[in-house]
Amino acid sequence: MIDLYTWSTPNGRKVSIALEELGLPYRVHEIDITKDQQFAPAFLKISPNNKIPAIVDNDNDGLSLMESGAILLYLAGKTGKLVPSGEVGYWRTVEWLMWQMGGFGPMLGQAHHFLHFNPGKAEYAEERYAKEASRLYGVLDKQLQGKDFIVGEYSIADIATWPWASRFAWQGIDINAFPNVRDWYLRIAERPAVQKGYDTPARGQPIPMP
């Protein structure tokens, strides 16, 4: 049994979606970041960086892990799923997972902060992160040309990236301007495991298509 410590954010949803896709049994522990529960001493023992998500794998001597990318790699390795077979497929998946962790997630997080939660407070920041969000969607759109999924087959790269794309409206993105991303977004949104994992803990649904 895996204990999942999470909240309804893109990073948190990555792990609950992966757990649902993999069919692994897990218990959800809500860490309400709006009430600073991520700073509780008990949680800091599991996640020293006081960030969600984090897991404890009780089937592996109580191994605890923080950082969503590391958790996704661990779960894929534990089950042998959600990563293409072969060395090239593995490293392509890691490559795009790192792209999400280093760019798509952090930059869109800044877009959320300035464009959605604090509009009108920093014109330069709004322009900077709107432009970078659009650039990153362009990179993803090009990568998805002729593919159903980011590395060709459904993988942890898609699971890491999709929850951030599900907030395209917060980022000022017209997703119809990126047709490959739009089709990929809808394709993944139809998956039952994604729908269930997205709503763990239950805090609403992905932004609907216009």
- 41: CATH: 3.40.30.10
Domain that holds residue 31: 2-79
Map residue 149 onto helix, strand or coil.
Answer: coil
What does each of the 210 residues of the chain score in pLDDT, given as a tens digit? 999 999 999 999 999 999 999 999 999 999 999 999 999 999 999 999 999 999 999 999 999 999 999 999 999 999 999 999 999 999 999 999 999 999 999 999 999 999 999 999 999 999 999 999 999 999 999 999 999 999 999 999 999 999 999 999 999 999 999 999 999 999 999 999 999 999 988 653 443 443
Same domain, 99 and 166: yes
Q: What letter would DSSP give residue 3?
A: E
Q: Which of 63, 79, 95 is the last residue of a domain?
A: 79
Q: Which of 29, 54, 79 is the last residue of a domain?
A: 79
pLDDT score, position 202: 67
Q: Is 18 inside any structural domain?
A: yes
Residues 6+ apart with CB under 8 A from 118: none
Same domain, 176 and 130: yes
Q: Which of 79, 97, 120 is the last residue of a domain?
A: 79
Q: Is 107 inside any structural domain?
A: yes
Same domain, 12 and 50: yes
Same domain, 180 and 104: yes
Domain count, the chain: 2
Q: Is 199 inside any structural domain?
A: no
Q: At what angle do helices 87-99 and 156-165 cross, to 10 degrees?
A: 20
Q: Is 119 inside any structural domain?
A: yes
Same domain, 94 and 68: no
Same domain, 182 and 92: yes
d(CA 29, CA 19): 14
Same domain, 126 and 62: no
pLDDT score, position 201: 84
Of 38, 73, 66, whose CA–CA distance to 156 is shortest? 73
Q: Is 152 inside any structural domain?
A: yes
Same domain, 68 and 91: no
Same domain, 40 and 100: no
d(CA 47, CA 29): 13
Q: Is 186 inside any structural domain?
A: yes
- 142: CATH: 1.20.1050.10
pTM flag (> 0.95): no
Q: Is 50 inside any structural domain?
A: yes
